[in-house]
Amino acid sequence: MGLSGTLPPNFNRLSKLSNLGFQRNNFTGSLPTFSGLSDLVYAYLNDNAFDSIPSDFFVGLTSIQALALDNNPLNATTGWTLPTELQNSKQLINLSMIHCNLVGQLPDFLATFESLNELKLSFNQLTGGIPAAFANSMVRVLWLNGQEPGLSGSISPISSMIYSRQLWLHGNHFTGVIPDIGNLTSLRELNLNGNQLVGVIPPSLATMDLVKLDLNNNQLMGPIPKFKLTNVTYDHNNFCQSVPGAPCSPDVTSLLAVLASVDYPSNLVSQWSGNDPCSLPWVGISCDGQSKITRIILPNRGLNGTLSPSVSTLESLLEIKLGGNNLSGPIPDSLTALKSLKLLDLSHNNFEPPSPKFRSNVRVVLDGNPLFAGGTVSPPPSPGTISPPGYQPSPEQPAPPHVAPPYVKPPFSPVPSQDGQPENGFNRSKLIIIVAAVAGGAFIFLLVIVVALCVCKRKKRRKRTTEAPLSVVVHPKDPLDPQNAVKVTISSTATGNSIETGNSFWSGNSSGLLSSRTLYSGNAISVQILRKVTDNFAPENELGRGGFGVVYRGMRSIPCHFYTQKLLQ
């Protein structure tokens, strides 16, 4: 009608007002309070220029059935929230507040209105998620599209909105998978464009009697189903095939099941696309030269959920490294069927016992799983079969720039770390290695000291033996000796070993009390030597006299060779 100006602040004195239609005009200023207008049933104030709304606007609107405030710049600077007084307006059928600066979260009480048919809140600044209470909502038309910065979380509540006919959720930040909505038989239009939805399209969605389906600009994966409807779009996703109905490769199907079991983490979803994990290697996946998946290396990724039994279908797996995450549940028994598996590292998670019985050459690391009583480590395989679990990317799969740094395990503690993940690492192993090294070093040091003492003692013993007093007995030549040799006997108190030097032979006894060494030589002994060892044939060194001469005792060390022939002659 082109009306302009402002509404009087005492507008609520029209106590019997039941129908108000000021839509599509040029009214400005503040909305007057409608407090106390208990007979008001219809109020259309949309498409004007009202710039503020009083806090008591909704008080006492107990009979209101249709209220429209669309396209008014209400409280443009701060925004405004739906007040709790609105929950008393249980007769509401249509509530439309598009583009009017609503902020905050979507109130739960709107889901309790049994008569509410249309709830249109598009292009506002709502945050948070869809309240779980909406699963039981009677709403048929729900517009939540175009929020800034955007609604988030799961859209799972819509799976139980059996009365819904039109769901506009596009232009937000919804995450998670598309729930199975095959039971929504009244649904005709579903718009999920421009979110962050992941996973495989539910098969039931392809068979529904929809008029329009928009799945563009998400991160949907897996195959594209053959849809029953013709007005469907699904561009800009991560499907494995571009042709509807074409299946994914078996390896991709298995890995998508693994991804589903850990709730589709965004840091993997964005990197796992296509139908060949080996051609442009997927993050955390390594392959051999024959494009067979050999390693799953995803430690310290913040993974939540369980370990999918689908891993066992990847028959060429050598290593599975999932340490330092938040995985729980049982360890699938089917993993024991992996004939090439050498390493299964599930350390620092929350897996439940018991552990399946793997082959003896499979190393299973379960340290840091509280339910395993502190963790257990199976015996390592033969050397050279695997690399130690250091959480480094495989040589066949270099880490991309955005990948988290290599996983270094701190000492185990069941208390979560500051990033919400269990503390993890190999510090305990390092400590054991350090202690062992120190102990080994100490042992070697003590051994060196003992050996050194023994050597010194032996040298002293040899010195004492060399310097021990000697008794020298020179015998005359034996006429029966064919070599015409002279016999000289040297006696000492030191114990010696048999020594053979030159033409001489020394023989010692082992009694330790007295040792005699006898020298045989066909050469002469100089008189100077005999004088030296007998102190010039001193009387005190005389041992006795015999038929062939006098026997003297030598008190000093003497050479090993005696030449006595001239002397005796």
SS3 52: strand
Instruction: Return the top range by mean pLDDT from 288-297, 465-474, 500-509.
Output: 288-297
- pLDDT band, residue 392 (cuts 50/70/90): very low
The CA distance from 542 to 353, in Å, is 94
**Domain membership flag for residue 34:** no
| pLDDT at position 87 over 70 | yes
- From the list 98, 96, 137, the residue with the least C-alpha distance to 115 is 137
Q: Using the 3D structure, point to which of 344, 372, 400 is the last residue of a domain.
A: 372
- pLDDT band, residue 556 (cuts 50/70/90): low
Q: What is the rounded average pLDDT of the residues 184-191? A: 97
**Domain membership flag for residue 69:** no
Strand arrangement, sheet containing 343-345: 285-287, 293-297, 319-321, 343-345, 363-365
Q: DSSP assignment, residue 384? A: T
| pLDDT at position 471 over 90 | no
**Domain membership flag for residue 258:** yes
- pLDDT for 82 equals 95
**Domain membership flag for residue 309:** yes
The CA distance from 399 to 23, in Å, is 59
- From the list 152, 131, 129, 140, the residue with the least C-alpha distance to 189 is 140
Domain count, the chain: 2
Domain boundaries, position 561:
527-566
- pLDDT for 394 equals 38
- pLDDT for 480 equals 53
- The mean-pLDDT minimum among 108-112, 203-207, 309-313, 397-401 falls in 397-401
Q: What is the rounded average pLDDT of the residues 146-157? A: 96
DSSP string for 402-428: TSPPPP-----EEEE-TTSSEE--SHH
**Domain membership flag for residue 216:** no
Q: How buried is 432 (Cβ within 10 angstroms: 0-12 exposed, 13-18 middle, 19+ buried)?
A: exposed
- pLDDT for 473 equals 52
- The mean-pLDDT minimum among 96-100, 197-201, 563-567 falls in 563-567
- The mean-pLDDT minimum among 195-204, 297-306, 351-360, 427-436 falls in 427-436
Spatial neighbors of 206 by CB under 8 A, at least 6 apart, are 225, 226, 227, 228
314 within 8 A of 291, measured Cβ to Cβ: no
| AA letter at 419 | D
- pLDDT band, residue 448 (cuts 50/70/90): confident
The CA distance from 558 to 467, in Å, is 10
What is the CATH classification number for the domain harbouring 546? 3.30.200.20
Report the half-sphere exposure of 260 (CA within 13 A, side-chain side). Answer: 20
Spatial neighbors of 543 by CB under 8 A, at least 6 apart, are 471, 473, 551, 552, 553
- pLDDT band, residue 465 (cuts 50/70/90): very low
Tokens in use for 157? Answer: 């509540």
Q: Using the 3D structure, point to which of 335, 351, 372 is the last residue of a domain.
A: 372
- From the list 363, 360, 348, 568, the residue with the least C-alpha distance to 474 is 568
The CA distance from 183 to 161, in Å, is 9
| pLDDT at position 422 over 90 | no
- pLDDT band, residue 55 (cuts 50/70/90): very high
CA angle, 63 as apex, 59 and 68 as ends, to 5°?
75
221 within 8 A of 198, measured Cβ to Cβ: yes
**Domain membership flag for residue 230:** no
Q: What is the rounded average pLDDT of the residues 2-17? A: 94
**Domain membership flag for residue 61:** no
If one counts every other C-beta atom within 10 angstroms of the C-beta of residue 218, the result is 25
Mean pLDDT across the chain: 81
| AA letter at 8 | P
Tokens in use for 287? Answer: 């392959």
Of residues 328 and 415, more confidence is placed in 328
**Domain membership flag for residue 315:** yes
What is the CATH classification number for the domain harbouring 307? 3.80.10.10
The CA distance from 67 to 411, in Å, is 61
- pLDDT band, residue 470 (cuts 50/70/90): very low
The CA distance from 302 to 17, in Å, is 59
Q: pTM above 0.95? A: no
Q: What is the rounded average pLDDT of the residues 492-505? A: 40
SS3 45: coil
Of residues 266 and 103, more confidence is placed in 103
- pLDDT for 516 equals 43
- The mean-pLDDT minimum among 180-189, 245-254, 439-448 falls in 439-448
Write out pLDDT tens, residues 20-38.
999 999 999 999 999 999 9
Q: Using the 3D structure, point to which of 316, 344, 372 is the last residue of a domain.
A: 372
Tokens in use for 205? Answer: 């969605």
CA 413 to chain CA centroid, Å, is: 14
